[in-house]
Structure 1
Amino acid sequence: MWRALKFCVIAAIILALAWWMAALPGDVTADAGTYRITTSAPVALLLILVVVAVLLMLLRVLGGLRRAPGRFSDWRGGRRAQAGELALQRGVVAVAAGDAAGARSAAGKARTLLGDTAFTQWLSAEAAQLAGEGEQARQAFERLTHSKEMKFLGHQGLLRQSLRAGQDEEAARQAEAAEAAYPGSAWTRGQRLALAVRERNYTAALRLTQMPKERAALAVAAAENAETPKLALDFAKQAVKADPTCPMAIAAMAKALRSVGKERAARNALLAGWKRAPHPLLAAAWPAPDATPLERAQAAALLAKENPGHVESELLLGETALAAQLTGEARRHAEAALKAGNSDGRAEAILARLDGRAVPAITPAWRCSSCQTQQEHWSCTCPACGKLGTMAANVPGKALMTTQG
């Protein structure tokens, strides 16, 4: 409706102007040498308008011709930028796929089309890294560190190179620079944590993680390497707070409490730990070092009372009874442990000794929850895969449904 109204208004104005021009009185005469042209005023005005329109069209054509080279250059530049962007995309995909040749080809094409930009420098560095040209990659990463927007990627690349070369000091320097370039990066924090653990700087490592399992493992390691008993106790408390079910943390707490003369507190810590998560490590730390076999059996009953019927309680009672030559009790508890689901060989070992048979192999006490590798001894990182805080107790079995004293 509005378009129709607008058209009507414009048409009315044009008709009014045409009517006005047609109604103009008089003639217009133009002399040019011996020539004289005479016409009416409306026709003369119309001719003037036509001449102006033609001149304007000529000016537009001339302007377009003058701007044509620039527009052609812009068109070519746009096509180069588009092709360069496509080369960058292909290069990033090649880097992710580990295709060194493809990444290098794409990087060269991108630099030809786009020039030596920060993004093309990064792609060239990654391509060189994939191709095994470490020095060329290092130089490219070094150049990236001078770019305000891409300096993090430069320090990241140099950090990875330092780690591969085993240059821990240089890696630590690059990690700090990467953190300054991009504060709060989870990747950088993970690398700094790994470096701190490798250097056994557990205090620094504790500041770099909030994961309970990782903190517990680090705090236990820190307690084991503490310079003073008080410091060891502080770290052991951190370990138990991070993971109250970690047997290494509870054992470290008991050991630290004993080292500062708090025997009763140490025993209470072991009792609480046995109630939460029984483990042979706690059983080994429970009796007095100079106790006789019979005293150990009596002490074991006090500890097992905190979690009656659990497979570990049955094994503890069976092993201490065997050592005290209480053969009937040893057999009863070993059979109860088997009934509870023990399958690591400890219950079978008790029965084998009672029957005079060969003792079966015992399953290692620790298993990595990441790679499933079994280990005889605990460590804060898995010796096989290097993961932090993944060494878990390898104690199969369950609590018995019935309570036994």
Structure 2
Amino acid sequence: MEVVQVLRMNGGLGETSYANNSLVQVYIINLLFWRRKVISMTKPITEEAITQVYRSVDGISNRFCIAELGCSSGPNTLAVAAELITTVHQLSRSHGRQLPEFQILLNDLPGNDFNSIFHSLLPQFRAQLDQQMGSKSAPCFVYGVPGSFYGRLFAANSLHFVHSSYSLMWLSKVPEGVEKWNKEEIYIGSKSPAPAINVYYSQFRVDFHTFLKCRSEEVVGGGAMVLTILGRKSDNAAASKECCYIWELLALSLKEMVSEGAIDEEKLHSFNIPQYMPSPAEVRRSVEEEGSFAISRLDTSEIRWADCGSSCGGKDVAKCMRSVAEPMLVEHFGETIIDELFGKYERSLTDCMSKEEMKFINVTVSLIRRG
């Protein structure tokens, strides 16, 4: 599987599109939709970081450049940018400064539905800014930047603030050799042996180091990054339910289709999700090893599976996961199995959620570029 070609959210505005099934990410950044601990932690962290950048970086009064990495094409694509511009507007007013011009750089892989962003979301974004700031609204220039963030994307020393939510757990590729160790799972799971877990973690370390190195060349001294990664709390539980069970249940649905003859067993054994959910300690180690950024904050928060939609059931979670995983599944197994697979998956999720409360764990790190 060529990750750069197939790792994308479902485009458009249809029933299974990411735009209509991305409530988890929206909740993280928007108080109107999310009232749990995660928003009370993430939004203050972002505001604290942007305030520090505003006060310490030269030239901010003229131009403020914000990059959203892994922007996707849902309603959350421009939400953080709107929050940040509002914060800078308030800071400028309190310091008696002119509001700077803004550059908003939206990045995702080339297969992302950038057309939906500029056709449907950008007009709403501009109208929101005009309503909030009126005649005081500064020029705001929005650009699409297709490409992998595991490589250079922007000019050297051009970024003041980088934000990424629910993107950095995705790896640049499926870890090499994992197929021979991980035939019973599609990701790290309860049956994954230590070698499978180790190659997943090794790939995360390589990718995250590369990410930090590339951003260190693009972010100005004193600039900041706030990264929220789907992860786990414990440092020694890479196969725990808190980070793996969502994929384990999908694997069970795929195995059921193998037993029914709808999927070839070897086809299942060769499929692995290019993802790793790190612990806070693993994030800290990687940041300290790379050395370009200082950690300002490192926190975890929780989101219940049941809060992924309005019905609080397996149907909403299955739709959310389908919007994320369908392109990868179609590439490997073909389109004909998808509806049946997610019907089975929905039933598994509903059964699981009726018996216990399951949660997603978020790891949020705030970083300052060393001068």
Query: Shared topology, TM-score over 0.5?
Result: no
Q: Hey, which of these two has a bigger chunk of strand by percent?
A: 2
Q: If the length of structure 2 is used for normalisation, what is the TM-score?
A: 0.22
Q: If the length of structure 1 is used for normalisation, what is the TM-score?
A: 0.20
Work out which of the two has the higher radius of gyration on C-alpha atoms and give 1 or 2: 1
Q: Hey, which of these two has a bigger chunk of helix by percent?
A: 1
